[in-house]
Structure 1
Amino acid sequence: MSRAAVLTGIGAMVPDRMVDNDEISTLVDTNDQWIRTRTGIERRYWADPGVSTGDLAVEAGRRALESAGVDSVDLVVMATSTPDQPMPATAPRVATDLGLGNIPGYDLSAACAGFIYGLHSATGAIASGSCERVLVIGADIWSTRLDPEDRATAIIFGDGAGAAVLRAGDPEEPGAFAGFDLGSDGAHKDLAVLPAGGSRQRSRGEPLREADNYLAMRGKEIFTHAVDRMAGSSTALLERIGWHTSDLDWFVGHQANARILNTVADVMHADRERVLLHLDRVGNTSAASIPLALTDAAADGRLQPGHRVLLTSFGGGLSWGSTALLWPDVAALAPAPRT
């Protein structure tokens, strides 16, 4: 019988500092009603000075390990676009801080689709027989990479980390990932980009522009591509595994914008009541958004064992991906409510 990757633990972490829409309105020309109407976001959390992506990843990973009831894994896969530094990777440091020993660990960069890519990578490691358990972490701190005067990005992003423990198991048991659909399109690489620090920007031999230090996005175009790619990927996956939209208990998309998620549901003829929303409380947390949403929903009881769950994501690159599972009986460790 083939080996499957089975979700056995999940945990999440956000920073202490809560930033509501009223505070954002002191930075850019906007207001609470405009932000809620356009994005669905009410607040987000930003890391204090000295707190890194790796710090949040360690805490999320610790909670996921506790949720799974284990203190060891064979591999750490960390999805992030905001590592502690360009080199070395952040994952080995996270593994060390978690006391996991000299196991392999690597960073994976697929923007907001990173967590799904990480699950796919972990599933391959388990299916090959090289790993029995894998810790997958999605973590990003975008607050330090945002132009405080750019309304297109300043109102959207929050910081956070989410993690999941996967173990080898039976393809038919709850928690087993039923399949994946992934894709990318580099022709649209400039729709969301952070130039500073990369070899292309440095190879130009020109002085670093201040704008190069900040994330730049073309929001309207991103919206269209996000809807098309997540709906298409989700549909392709469901057809491959023999599920129907009507079978879904929860549709869990990348938490970027409530209008995007609702539009994807409409395109797929899915019930909007089944769209899991968490972005209102944390904003767009990039690679952390799906595990944060899952942890929160499992902790408060919305996600129940046996629920059929579809996960889908979209990010810069362009990159996108989807997977699905029957939700297992797992104890989710979410961050304590913050005010």
Structure 2
Amino acid sequence: MTATAVPALALADLATYRPENKVPSSYFAAFAEDDDLADNVMFRAPAFRHHAAEDETSADMIVTAAGILTDRHGADYLDDVDVLLTHSQLPEVMVRGCGGEVAHRLGLTPSTVLDVHNGGCAAFAHLIEVGGALLAASGGRKALIALAQNSAGQIFTQDQVRSKAQAAIPGDGAAVATLTLGAGGNPILTTVSRSYGEYAPDMTAVSSPPRKYWEAGPGQIHVGFTNAKIAKVLSRGNRQVPEVAIEAATQIGVRPSKLDWFITNQPNRVFLRNWREALELTEENHPDTFDECGNLFAVGVPMTLDALIDSGRLQPGQIVMTSAFAHAGDFAAAAAIRWNGRS
């Protein structure tokens, strides 16, 4: 029996969206109160971040980002999408994500619509891997992956939360990308995913007084940080992001220090510095959008990649290594891309 070769997976193009409301750090400074975590390195605020409008949903932001692709390539650019994968940091409705709504609003008829919740900040590489596998399995023509970070303007501006150190870090935004099989595009050289389920319980949502997130009550939900948890997250993140990036670089035969570009998620400046030092890369080779956009969770990697493309610094033939970790360290993923240009 002769095995059938699987066509190469490629990233065809991507587009991103930043909400109009650009919020300076002074907004949060006006509400700041004593916080035991105020001096923690995790919470050194960016200069700016964007907040989604009050009635702006994950689907709204994704559809807007997708509109950039159709404006760029033509109204029929997404007509051959057979696989649609979405990731929303804060699904507006319990149980389901926004995939079905996105497909309907874009006029798509994909054979597979999947809302992927677990990827967290590493969802971009994770969706590339999953989307590629689904395309190969089904013989599909094109996959659309879509990510939305929508919790900054909804969770972190609540009147009980905006005074906390954690509130000034997140920003909102969205990203979409198309994947294809076969020649052309920007080849996905490899992907690496690692699950660390033992760390999942360390990511918690809390309120005062305590309640489950679906229960009515006076306490506003926010992330349950403590100094002890932060120490664990710092240790895991410092280790995991370089680990999966180095593993991916090894698979493609490139020394990590010789990578052209390294793009990661961007929780804070400390992680950014530690990650590039671990790979022996310069700040020039490790771009970010932290001071313009804050921590964008899953959208951070594609947002920075899109900004790098627009800057003109990313040249054909260069390799982009993306890497990220999720939540309190329960997942990490990397993807290596050889850039040829938008297609």
What TM-score range do you get, normalising by the shorter chain? 0.7 to 0.9
Cα separation, 2, equivalents of 1:51 and 1:132: 31
Deviation string, structure 1 residues 247-292 (Cα, Å, up to 9, x no partner): 3111000122122012011112222321111111001111111111
1:245 to 241, 245, 256: 256
Counterpart secondary structure, 1:86 = coil
Would you say the 8 A contact 2:249–2:255 is kept in 1? yes
- The residue type equivalent to 2:87 in the other structure is A
- Partner of 2:82 in structure 1? 74
2:60 paired with 1:55: yes
Deviation string, structure 1 residues 285-327 (Cα, Å, up to 9, x no partner): 1111111111111112122222211000111161110010111
Cα separation, 2, equivalents of 1:235 and 1:323: 11
2:113 to 105, 111, 125: 105
Would you say the 8 A contact 1:7–1:328 is kept in 2? no
Structure-2 change in CA distance of 1:267 and 1:104 (3 Å): same
2:332 paired with 1:320: yes
2:229 paired with 1:224: no
2:276 to 249, 265, 273: 265
- The residue type equivalent to 2:141 in the other structure is E
Write out aligned runs for 1:1-339 (5 A): 1-29=5-33, 39=44, 41-67=46-72, 69=74, 70-72=77-79, 73-101=81-109, 103-109=111-117, 110-143=119-152, 144-146=154-156, 148-149=161-162, 151-170=164-183, 175-194=186-205, 201=212, 210-211=218-219, 213-217=221-225, 218-316=229-327, 318-330=330-342
Structure-2 change in CA distance of 1:168 and 1:67 (3 Å): farther
Instruction: Name stretches of at least 5 consecutive residues in structure 1 with no aligned partner.
Output: 332-339
- The residue type equivalent to 2:340 in the other structure is P
Moved more, 121-130 or 247-256: 121-130
Q: Name the TM-score, length of structure 1 as normaliser.
A: 0.86
- The residue type equivalent to 1:232 in the other structure is E
Counterpart secondary structure, 1:74 = strand
Cα separation, 2, equivalents of 1:68 and 1:249: 27
Deviation string, structure 1 residues 137-174 (Cα, Å, up to 9, x no partner): 1111112123524534201100110111111124xx56
- The residue type equivalent to 2:339 in the other structure is W
Would you say the 8 A contact 2:15–2:306 is kept in 1? yes
Cα separation, 2, equivalents of 1:191 and 1:208: 24
Would you say the 8 A contact 1:137–1:161 is kept in 2? yes
How much does 1:136 deviate?
A: 0.6
Would you say the 8 A contact 2:28–2:162 is kept in 1? no
- The residue type equivalent to 2:177 in the other structure is A
Cα separation, 2, equivalents of 1:25 and 1:36: 17
Moved more, 121-130 or 221-230: 121-130
- The residue type equivalent to 1:64 in the other structure is L
How much does 1:97 deviate?
A: 0.8
Cα separation, 1, equivalents of 2:272 and 2:198: 24
Cα separation, 2, equivalents of 1:37 and 1:230: 16
Q: Name the TM-score, length of structure 2 as normaliser.
A: 0.85
Counterpart secondary structure, 1:176 = strand
Identity %: 20
How much does 1:98 deviate?
A: 1.0
How much does 1:13 deviate?
A: 0.6
How much does 1:84 deviate?
A: 2.5
How much does 1:101 deviate?
A: 3.0
Counterpart secondary structure, 2:336 = strand
Cα separation, 2, equivalents of 1:68 and 1:44: 29
Structure-2 change in CA distance of 1:325 and 1:202 (3 Å): closer
